[in-house]
Structure 1
Amino acid sequence: MTGNPFATNRAVSRPQLEILERQPAVDSGKPPLLFVHGLGHGAWCWENWLDAAAAAGHPAYAVSLRGHGGSGGSLRGARLGQYVDDVIRAAATLPRRAVLVGHSLGGLVVQKALARYSAYAGVLVAPVPAHPAVASLLAVARRHPLDAARLTFGGSLPLRADYLFTTLDGEEAKRHTDRCGRESALAQYQLLLHRPAAPPRGGAPVLVLATPDDRLVPIRGVRSTATRYGATLREFPGMGHDLMLDVRWEEPLKSMVDWLSTAR
């Protein structure tokens, strides 16, 4: 079902946010999960993991950042710091301290949110690394030079199937890429210029899920980010950047659920 705890849009700085929600059949006290999407995606991209997490006993929520999916607000001028505000505001409405789960750009947003919000844990899924993502720009340039030029001059990165998936059926891949949208030019620039986030508030443990075959975020930067956080790192060879949508999406999801059972 779709929940919407934000019934007001009284200020541009606090736009109405879309929240997708799945609840377990029985509330056993497990921590809620708050999923944060990546560049050009929306809460919709977590549908597989929302259902599976709830089946495993976790209250599961996915937020669309401002200007994405069904959320209010504009992408024009949207900054990473505002995305972090969106995540913290969403987490504050949940019944217990949440596990923040961020993919790609959302993985960087979660890194920054962990420095301000005392989370139960953090999970970074194919995340933009803790350091400036110049290697990602170079990876794009090698595959599609015009896409890299477009990024450099303020255009939104076209989210092609070959960036996101490795084995997904062509029609299914197109269905997902057709749902992707634009990204804030300013937020994209910030990926290349940002400073590492402060350590997680309260010492929240961190899990990193990644693939060495990622065509957008080179694995070297992901591994260094895992080292920075003293995180558990799980790699899934043969999968694409969108671990939560590619054919074997159950594998990283199960790895996360198993890790959470022993994280505290």
Structure 2
Amino acid sequence: MPLGTERRLGHARLWHRRPAAGDPRPPVLLVHGGYHGAWCWDYWAERLAAVGREVAALDLRGHGGLPQPPGYAEAGVMDFAGDVVAGIDALDRPAVVVGHSLGCLLVPLAATQRPTAGLLLACPSPPGNLPGARKVPLVPEGAPVPPLPAEIARTRYAIHLSDAELADLAAKLCPESPRLLNERYDLRIPVDPAAIGAPVLVVEGGRDDPERHPAGQDAAIARFYGGDHIRLDDAPHDLMLGPGSDRWFDAVWARMDALLARA
């Protein structure tokens, strides 16, 4: 992801672009979800940088072309949340930390350990202690889970993409830690919402995969964190990619900036 400077943070990697001049707004840290990498934020990063925001994007360990570290298949939610903490620590001041999908479990956990300016949770995985959250069938453990084939990726992530765009997306997906997936799928990891001292916005995609994001769950996540909720009726799971991403970006950041202004 050609976003400013590249910095290794242990097993993770941070891409960081500072504004040309001092900007009073908090920096933005972008955190991807399962199978993805910092590349999925290219459009959002460019849009944020274009209006003078300091922006950084994180490649979690074993993602975005990074090598899988020893024990990758046994790395769990708290290990990956540690990568997010390292990303927060690498910035000079509290950031608006943006998570997508499984990244939305890592981001609140990191925010219980470090001050943040706000959290933006897009198409979120639920915390394990969310009342009524739906479990997902587990995957076999012992070895990394292969990337999703294109047709499954279409259903789960990107029903709005053309065949060529979908093939490009599928080629970028990477193997995932089964421990990470199962700790999310089995709802094993709770989050203490009282330990997050920042405003929270939850973004729901109206065309998300209903097996993993059943009706009402994203709104319940917003209530759990005491945050705001916005539903984008025509948005898929990977709402930062492909046709429509400009409209969804505008809607999300208009709401997020208004939330930050009230904080």
Would the TM-score normalized by the shorter structure come out above 0.5? yes
- Contact residue 235 and residue 248 of structure 2 kept, 8 A: no
CA distance in 2, matches of 1:200, 1:34: 22
- Contact residue 39 and residue 106 of structure 1 kept, 8 A: yes
Q: How far 1:200 moved relative to its partner?
A: 5.6
- Contact residue 212 and residue 218 of structure 1 kept, 8 A: no
Counterpart amino acid of residue 201 in structure 2: L
Choose the corresponding residue for 1:164, options 157, 169, 194.
Answer: 157
Q: How far 1:48 moved relative to its partner?
A: 0.4
Q: How far 1:156 moved relative to its partner?
A: 4.7
Equivalences for 1:24-35 in 2 at 5 Å? 24-35=19-30
Q: How far 1:43 moved relative to its partner?
A: 0.6
Q: How far 1:244 moved relative to its partner?
A: 0.9
CA distance in 2, matches of 1:98, 1:200: 19
Choose the corresponding residue for 2:191, options 192, 197, 202.
Answer: 197
Counterpart amino acid of residue 243 in structure 1: L
Cα 1:25–1:103 shift into 2, 3 Å: same
Q: Do residues 97 (structure 1) and 91 (structure 2) align?
A: no
Counterpart amino acid of residue 27 in structure 2: P
- Contact residue 129 and residue 189 of structure 2 kept, 8 A: yes
- Contact residue 126 and residue 222 of structure 1 kept, 8 A: yes
CA distance in 2, matches of 1:72, 1:153: 21
Secondary structure of 2:155's counterpart equals helix
Q: Do residues 59 (structure 1) and 46 (structure 2) align?
A: no
Counterpart amino acid of residue 203 in structure 1: G
Consecutive unaligned residues in structure 1, runs of 5 or more: 8-13, 138-147
Equivalences for 1:13-28 in 2 at 5 Å? 14-15=10-11, 17-28=12-23
Q: Do residues 107 (structure 1) and 94 (structure 2) align?
A: no
Match of 1:140 in 2: none
Equivalences for 1:139-150 in 2 at 5 Å? none
CA distance in 2, matches of 1:25, 1:51: 14
Q: How many residues align?
A: 245
TM-score of the aligned structures, taking structure 2 as reference length: 0.84
Consecutive unaligned residues in structure 2, runs of 5 or more: none
Q: Do residues 38 (structure 1) and 29 (structure 2) align?
A: no
| Per-residue CA distance 1:75-120 (angstroms, 9 max, x = gap) | 3211110111111111111122111100000011112111111100
CA distance in 1, matches of 2:77, 2:196: 22
The RMSD of aligned alpha carbons is 2.2
Amino-acid identity (%): 28
